[in-house]
Structure 1
């Protein structure tokens, strides 16, 4: 009798352990961007860089129209099972051009959809905007406009990190980054990604990060999402 009770007790413990393990099992996914672009300060919206291999953030040393803002989005709903609970989010970018010393780069949730056209320039000056590009005044060139010059984004900082010399930099998981990605999973039609905001108060603070178009796959932006069912 005692042996039978012992066996039943062990079986119950195993069953409970399996249930708890299944309930708390977490899955990690590494995503590359679905689109990215650089918003190039220009009152006419004639410049963009949809297919450029670099995302520029900050301020160049041009005498005017020197502000640059990166925009980046990931297809969360395509890669994370519906109904999952997001528990951790980290963004890793590779800094390839860095003339401006240490600078803080913020993530802000974008509030309007935007596009990536065929414009392509190797530097921060940009190329002629093409159909569907995001520009300083257009979210979709040349028929749809931002409500605010330079993009419509939340004033709340989702994440921030300081970047300096060339290399990989990671925006560590924050409560707001987790909330943003959870919102994008639950409401895919509201997934507009993040805007990268740098130091725009001083010239020559611009940073050039590898975009999804870079031929080096290891340098492409990566979003690591940990979730559980």
Structure 2
């Protein structure tokens, strides 16, 4: 899987009073175990990734750190419901517009399981090794980036040999 880094903690939105996080961050990929989460419309008006690092106030239909729908039942685990098994990991620096890749045999197992049982395909979640400190995030361009001509969306590359 390939994702393009679009924003780094401290790289914008602070009026020049801060600097980008220069510590390389290990970002792990985990298989999501629940198909319940909101994909609300908060922030949909933004056509760039810059300036969104502070987040938005949650509204009806939005997933939050604590709940899969704003003001609704909570996740079993804060941040989302996902397997504790790491599917893959990679180290991400602070260089924006750089492509990063995740690849591991566990990802192959995940995809095969989804092929065998499509109803269990809830995708993967990216989890930063440091989810407790402030200003450590990495934001990657989503599928909407290409539609808005602001970046390259995610790419899942499968090398199949019969």
TM-score range, shorter chain: 0.7 to 0.9
Larger Rg, first or second structure (1 or 2): 1
* Residue of structure 1 equivalent to 2:149: 216
* Residue of structure 1 equivalent to 2:137: 206
8 Å contact kept, 1:115–1:132: yes
More strand by share: 1
Report the alpha carbon displacement of residue 177 of structure 1 after superposing the two structures with TM: 0.6
8 Å contact kept, 1:116–1:132: yes
Instruction: Report the Cα distance in structure 1 between the residues aligned to 2:125 and 2:27, rounded to whole angstroms.
Output: 10
Unpaired runs of 5+ residues, structure 2, are 9-19
Could you say what the CA RMSD is over the residues aligned between the two structures, in angstroms?
2.1
More helix by share: 1
Could you tell me the TM-score, scaled by structure 1's length? Answer: 0.54
Per-residue CA deviation, residues 20-63 of structure 1 (Å, 9 max, x unaligned), is xxxxxxxxxxxxxxxxxxxxxxxxxxxxxxxxxxxxxxxxxxxx
Deviation above 4 Å: which 4+ runs of structure 1? Answer: none
* Residue of structure 2 equivalent to 1:193: 123
Instruction: Report the Cα distance in structure 2 between the residues aligned to 1:181 and 1:218, rounded to whole angstroms.
Output: 26
8 Å contact kept, 2:5–2:140: yes
How many correspondences in the alignment?
A: 138
2:10 corresponds to 1:94: no
Could you tell me the TM-score, scaled by structure 2's length? Answer: 0.74
* Residue of structure 1 equivalent to 2:12: none
